[in-house]
Amino acid sequence: MARKKVAFQGARGAFSEEASRILLGDDLAYFPCERFEQVFRALADGKVRYAVVPIENTLAGSVHENYDHLLKFQLPIIAETRVRIVHNLITRPETKFSQIRSVISHPVALRQCLRFFEKHPQVRSEVFYDTAGSVEQVMRQRDPAVAAIASALAAQYYGAKTLRRSIEDDRRNYTRFFLLARKAPKLRAKNGQTLKTSIVFSTRNQPGTLFRCMSALALRDINLIKIESRPLRGRPWEYLFYVDLIGSPLEERYRNAMSHLAEMTEFLTVLGCYPQAA
């Protein structure tokens, strides 16, 4: 049986691959892409069965680019997961800590591990393209003085060693990922599952419209999980709103809220309805 094929942005062993395994299991075929747009394109063109993309990070905020692609490609969200971004010090299998003189990784990862570098001034940090790729480089380069910072999965994938776990300064670093498919499966609520829906809408250029839009949800006791406004470029005072709510088309109040919302918005798109991550 052919393995499920999934597209993601980054090198093998990237955090998006970790998210893919949580969402789909370990028996996957991977389609790594350089750009997010290529990830969406691969799914739209039928090159893969699934795509996994980051949508927000607790430290860095929403990935607006992927919201744009979600709107453009109209590929439904069918699941979500949250991955804690753990940065590990990764070396060749034979390396001892005292041998390390430099550590390579993506600058964002390096900057999230500043305390490690302050504590070990003999170790220099050096930028590299991405976290997982830095592990590949360490293994290829065969120099025990060079280590990498990346996920444990990257260490495993490239046959490297995780020498120090979780060297990041702030452990409250989580990324939320969406699983996308070409077509949404038939919706059903399994026991104990809470269904969540992600929508995007824009309002007409009038004061108080957002408040009225929210009344369509609040007056039906529909709970919001996320709300975020984003200015529409070139159209002052007009906004896109990203809203995540608890509810699904299986409920009458949800269906009523959506048709009420449609009356009051310029456009309204449902990005997907999926089980809430634990």
231 binds a copy of itself (CB under 8 A): yes
* Helix residue spans in the chain (DSSP H): 15-24, 36-44, 64-73, 107-111, 114-119, 131-141, 152-157, 209-218, 252-264
* Residue 18 vs 130, nearer CB to a copy of itself: 130
Q: Which two tokens stand for residue 120?
A: 């070990």
260 binds a copy of itself (CB under 8 A): no
140 binds a copy of itself (CB under 8 A): no
Catalytic residue among 131, 175, 197, 209: 175
Residue 51 to residue 72: CA distance in whole angstroms: 15
263 binds a copy of itself (CB under 8 A): no
* Residue 3 vs 171, nearer CB to a copy of itself: 171
80 binds a copy of itself (CB under 8 A): no
Three-state secondary structure call for residue 126: strand
Window 166 to 185, contacts with a copy of itself (CB under 8 A): 172
Catalytic residue among 15, 31, 177, 201: 177
Q: Report the nearest approach of a copy of itself to the CB of residue 208 (Å).
A: 5
Residue 112 to residue 167: CA distance in whole angstroms: 9
- Decide if 177 is catalytic: yes
Q: Are 86 and 15 in contact, with CB atoms under 8 Å apart?
A: no
Q: Report the nearest approach of a copy of itself to the CB of residue 247 (Å).
A: 12
H or E element, residue 58: none
Q: What amino acid is encoded at 234 in this protein?
A: G
119 binds a copy of itself (CB under 8 A): no
Q: Residue 85: which of 23, 36, 151, 155 has the closest Cα?
A: 151
Catalytic residues: 175, 177
Interacting residues toward a copy of itself by CB under 8 A: 34-35, 56, 58-65, 106-107, 111, 114, 127-130, 172, 207-208, 210-211, 214-215, 217-218, 221, 223-231, 233
